[in-house]
Amino acid sequence: MKIITTSWDDGYPADYRIAELLEKYKLKGTFYIPRSNPEHEVMPEPEIRTLAQDFEVGGHTLHHVRLHSRSGAVFTEEILGCYNWLKDLLGIAPVSFCFPGGVYNQPAIDYTRTTGFKILRTTELLNPGLPDNLGLVPTTLQVYNHSGFTYYKHLLKRIKLRSLGIYLKNKNSADLLNLVEYYLNYVIKNQGCLHIWGHSWEIEQYHLWDELEQICKLISGINECTYVTNGELSQV
């Protein structure tokens, strides 16, 4: 399997600009949206419904709450509450969930799966692999200019030795566009999943829209690859 997927967190109104780029280049995407977020503005519910007509919308808790040190009643409110809110809002049961801040614990994983979510997206970077048997989904590259040291530290901290080995073989350790091309070629040659993700508020803040469009152009229209939403990863 040679798969390309994208996902976008937080439901910031500029997500519509991302959606326009995805439509332009015939790419699929999953938008992880909380009902509210104390850190950033969230698009209103009618706009979420409109977005969901063409893209997958996944859960991101009700209030963008970090779950790694929570349990019990917080899980019920933030995870089950998010599931029911999206089901009522969109008329379909959500499939995918993303942990705010990329942090979680085993009870959070267990509760989220019990609630009905099948795909649990993380913020693990530089992984061209598919979901594991718990439905945990890694990512490959974030639309953000990380340093080579940050990438290296990220992989060592998580003891992702296979991902580190793949990363160290590239010749441009921190250039985002070159990394996209490198991992795209890796997936085409070895199979796997190229997963691009980001935040529209961050793309706007750091003026990365041109870079995002170059990425969309680079990964579009590749006959060897299958384009899926995050939710469709549960079927591969």
Q: For residues 34 and 6, is the Cβ–Cβ distance under 8 A?
A: no
Q: What fold, for 2-235?
A: TIM Barrel (3.20.20)
Mean pLDDT of the chain: 96
- Residue 102: left (phi > 0), alpha (psi -120 to 50), or beta? left
* 66 in Cβ contact with 101 (< 8 Å): yes
Place of tokens 């949206």: 33
Q: Model confidence over 134-170: pLDDT tens digits? A: 889 999 999 999 999 999 999 999 999 999 999 999 9
Q: What confidence score (pLDDT) does residue 83 get?
A: 98
Quick one: tokens of 199? 């935040």
The answer, yes or no, to whether residue 42 has pLDDT greater than 90, is yes
The pLDDT value recorded for residue 172 is 74
pLDDT higher than threshold 90 for residue 171: no
Token duo for residue 162: 């296979």
Q: Domain spans of the chain?
A: 2-235
Question: Residue 173 pLDDT more than 90?
Answer: no
User: How large a percentage of the chain has pLDDT more than 90?
Assistant: 94
pLDDT tens per residue, range 49-108:
999 999 999 999 999 999 988 778 999 999 999 999 999 999 999 999 999 999 999 999
**Distance separating alpha carbons of residues 31 and 12, to the nearest angstrom:** 10
